[in-house]
């Protein structure tokens, strides 16, 4: 099993610190979402992992080895960094053949990944004629070429159409289910929530969070319950007896913060409050993320004052 280990990784460009003492580990068998706003250091971290940029300090290893030490790295690690990396005048098939030749991969793999990414019918067209979504698929095909146990994808859903987004979600789940280590960077919250099991969150080059998706949301966002009733006064009275309150949602319904749906259901039934609607409102990754960045901003502000 191959995991990714980032140890005290730091990268400075002049005086700007793009990655700041980053330490985390990406485990196999699950999809790890690599989250953070643009410029948080996600792409830099991926380039450092691939040995493309030189770290100022620290190490990034895959299965305990530096990327450059793999004799045929495409068989160990597949990466999508830039969808624009393929030359526009080359055909998709030739682009993949060039990569396959460099790592002595059989030509059969080229046709297999073209098939897998849905590019087989257009494989002999020049990349110049491709849409952004098709280039993205070609980049993913290149990442899968060596059937690698580790897959790194930088913003893979960029430019994909809705069908493509559903496809990539399934692909990522499938790769993780096969026991591979999958690290996918994104700045899109809802998209990441749809495929990630685990999260590594960056902000201005530093690690903000490294924990399972569900836990990240649950610790940051309190669940609430949406209630609609024909007798608001009775509802309020019943809630007040249990130390709860209901806020007006503005559309004729009420929101009970910090509550579970089964708790409110039982409570309303005991008090004989007629319910028209009762629904749980789970926190979203977006809310959790905004909560995290708000705390982070506060923390930074305090530090600057001190």
Q: What residue ranges bind another protein (CB under 8 A)? A: 47, 50-54, 67-68, 70-74, 79, 81-82, 84-87, 89-91, 94, 97-99, 101-104, 142
CA distance 77 to 143: 8
Side-chain half-sphere CA neighbours of 63 within 13 A:
17
Please answer whether residues 198 and 213 qualify as being in contact, where contact means their C-beta atoms are separated by less than 8 angstroms: yes
CA distance 246 to 228: 11
CA distance 45 to 52: 10
Nearer to another protein, 51 or 265 (CB): 51
Q: In the bound complex, what is the minimum distance in angstroms from residue 52's beta carbon to another protein? A: 4
Nearer to another protein, 43 or 229 (CB): 43
CA distance 293 to 21: 19
Q: In the bound complex, what is the minimum distance in angstroms from residue 256's beta carbon to another protein? A: 51
**H/E stretch holding 255:** strand 254-257
Query: Among candidates 146, 97, 106, which has minimal Cα distance to 124?
Result: 97
Nearer to another protein, 103 or 219 (CB): 103
Please answer whether residues 153 and 140 qualify as being in contact, where contact means their C-beta atoms are separated by less than 8 angstroms: yes
Query: Among candidates 208, 214, 216, which has minimal Cα distance to 293?
Result: 208
Q: In the bound complex, what is the minimum distance in angstroms from residue 108's beta carbon to another protein? A: 16
Q: In the bound complex, what is the minimum distance in angstroms from residue 205's beta carbon to another protein? A: 16
Q: In the bound complex, what is the minimum distance in angstroms from residue 226's beta carbon to another protein? A: 47
Please answer whether residues 273 and 230 qualify as being in contact, where contact means their C-beta atoms are separated by less than 8 angstroms: no
Q: In the bound complex, what is the minimum distance in angstroms from residue 254's beta carbon to another protein? A: 52
Nearer to another protein, 97 or 206 (CB): 97
Q: In the bound complex, what is the minimum distance in angstroms from residue 90's beta carbon to another protein? A: 5
Query: Among candidates 202, 221, 222, which has minimal Cα distance to 210?
Result: 202
Nearer to another protein, 31 or 143 (CB): 143
């Amino acid at each position: 099993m191959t995991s990714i280990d980032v140890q005290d990784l730091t990268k400075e460009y002049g005086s700007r610190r793009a990655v700041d003492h980053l330490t985390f580990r990406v485990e196999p068998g699950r999809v790890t979402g690599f989250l953070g706003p643009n410029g948080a250091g996600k792409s830099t971290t991926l380039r450092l992992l691939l040995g493309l940029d030189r770290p100022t300090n620290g190490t990034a290893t895959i299965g305990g080895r530096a990327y450059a030490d793999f004799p045929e790295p495409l068989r160990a690690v597949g990466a999508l960094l830039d969808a624009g990396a393929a030359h526009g005048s080359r055909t998709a098939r030739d682009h993949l053949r060039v990569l396959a030749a460099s790592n002595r991969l059989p030509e059969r793999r080229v046709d297999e990944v073209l098939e897998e990414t849905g590019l087989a019918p257009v494989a002999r067209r020049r990349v110049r004629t491709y849409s952004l979504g098709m280039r993205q698929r070609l980049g993913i095909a290149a990442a899968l070429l060596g059937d690698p146990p580790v897959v790194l994808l930088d913003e893979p859903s960029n430019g994909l159409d809705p069908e493509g987004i559903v496809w990539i979600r399934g692909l990522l789940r499938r790769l993780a289910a096969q026991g591979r280590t999958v690290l996918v960077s994104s700045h899109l919250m809802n998209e990441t929530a749809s495929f990630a099991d685990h999260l590594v969150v960056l902000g201005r080059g530093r690690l903000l969070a490294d924990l399972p998706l569900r836990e990240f949301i649950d610790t940051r966002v309190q669940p609430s319950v949406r209630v609609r009733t024909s007798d608001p006064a009775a509802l309020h009275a019943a809630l007040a007896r249990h130390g709860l309150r209901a806020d007006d949602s503005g559309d004729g319904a009420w929101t009970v913060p910090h509550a579970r749906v089964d708790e409110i259901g039982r409570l309303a039934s005991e008090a004989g409050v007629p319910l028209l609607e009762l629904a749980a409102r789970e926190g979203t990754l977006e809310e959790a993320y905004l909560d995290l960045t708000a705390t982070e901003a506060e923390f930074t502000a305090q530090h600057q004052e001190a």
